[in-house]
């Protein structure tokens, strides 16, 4: 697949967006690339290169207008496009993600949760209901949900994945510590928390 924007650039643009949000909250109108670079401990050239990708030019000496740059990042990363998703597995992590209010600002809309535990079915979290997993195929059509966030226990991950795919799910954001076996028309994004943590410890000698 040819990537439109590299993963690293997307990652950094999201962080710039966080910084811009802070600046705007503090009523600071302009931000310069060295200010961004210093906060992220990255090179100033890198920041300028990333922002040049957005075809945005700062003003000499004062830098970028925070509000304008923020909107440009939102357009480039398509924050306004609604991306409907289900959380599958209403355990601790699934519940935490359901309660995470920040997602909607990025166009990420969690419509419902699913679980097999009768004690959880019917619960409401942050206006999202927990349904029985058996209802997922019907609700996937109803909500036009193509994305599932997988937070079931590791041992059920593959079995639930097979069911999700049969139900029309095309994209799986996988939080389980397992590699899912799926056909090539289904995209899996491994949220490899452990891998991310080890990147940190291995290279810093922690």
> Where do contacts with its own copies occur on this chain (CB under 8 A)?
1, 3-5, 7, 10-15, 18-19, 22, 39-41, 77-78, 81, 83, 91-93, 95-96, 99-100, 102-103, 106, 108, 146-147, 154, 171, 173, 177-179, 181, 184, 187-204, 206
Extract the tokens encoding 77: 């990363």
For its own copies, the closer of residues 11 and 141 by Cβ is: 11
The alpha-carbon radius of gyration of the chain (Å, integer) is: 20
Cβ(69)–Cβ(48) under 8 Å? no
**Considering the complex, what minimum distance in angstroms separates the CB of residue 122 from its own copies?**
19
> Which run of H or of E encompasses 164?
helix 157-166
The dihedral sign for the CA sequence 150, 155, 158, 161: negative
Extract the tokens encoding 171: 């994209």
SS3 state of residue 190: strand
For its own copies, the closer of residues 139 and 182 by Cβ is: 182
For its own copies, the closer of residues 45 and 134 by Cβ is: 45
Identify which of 80, 142, 85, 91 has the alpha carbon closest to the alpha carbon of residue 116.
91
Cβ(20)–Cβ(70) under 8 Å? yes
**Considering the complex, what minimum distance in angstroms separates the CB of residue 204 from its own copies?**
6
**Considering the complex, what minimum distance in angstroms separates the CB of residue 116 from its own copies?**
19
For its own copies, the closer of residues 136 and 149 by Cβ is: 149
**Considering the complex, what minimum distance in angstroms separates the CB of residue 166 from its own copies?**
19
**Considering the complex, what minimum distance in angstroms separates the CB of residue 104 from its own copies?**
11
For its own copies, the closer of residues 121 and 147 by Cβ is: 147
Please give the Cα distance from 179 to 162 (Å, whole number): 13
């Amino acid at each position: 697949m040819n990537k439109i924007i590299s993963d690293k650039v997307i990652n950094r643009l999201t962080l710039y967006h966080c910084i811009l949000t802070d600046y705007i909250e503090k009523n600071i109108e302009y931000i310069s690339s060295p200010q961004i670079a210093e906060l992220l401990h990255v090179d100033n050239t890198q920041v300028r290169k990333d922002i040049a990708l957005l075809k945005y030019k700062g003003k000499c000496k004062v830098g970028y207008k925070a509000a304008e740059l923020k909107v440009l990042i939102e357009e480039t990363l398509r924050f306004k496009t609604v991306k409907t998703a289900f959380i599958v597995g209403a355990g601790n992590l699934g519940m935490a993600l359901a309660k995470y209010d920040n997602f909607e600002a990025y166009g990420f809309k969690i419509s419902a949760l699913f679980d097999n535990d009768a004690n959880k079915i019917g619960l409401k979290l942050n206006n999202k209901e927990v349904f029985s997993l058996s209802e997922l195929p019907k609700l996937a059509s109803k909500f036009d949900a193509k994305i599932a966030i997988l937070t079931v226990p590791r041992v059920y991950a593959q079995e639930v994945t097979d069911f999700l795919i049969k139900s029309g799910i095309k994209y799986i954001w996988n939080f389980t510590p397992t590699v899912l076996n799926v056909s090539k028309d289904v995209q899996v994004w491994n949220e490899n928390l452990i891998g991310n943590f080890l990147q940190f410890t291995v290279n810093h000698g922690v």
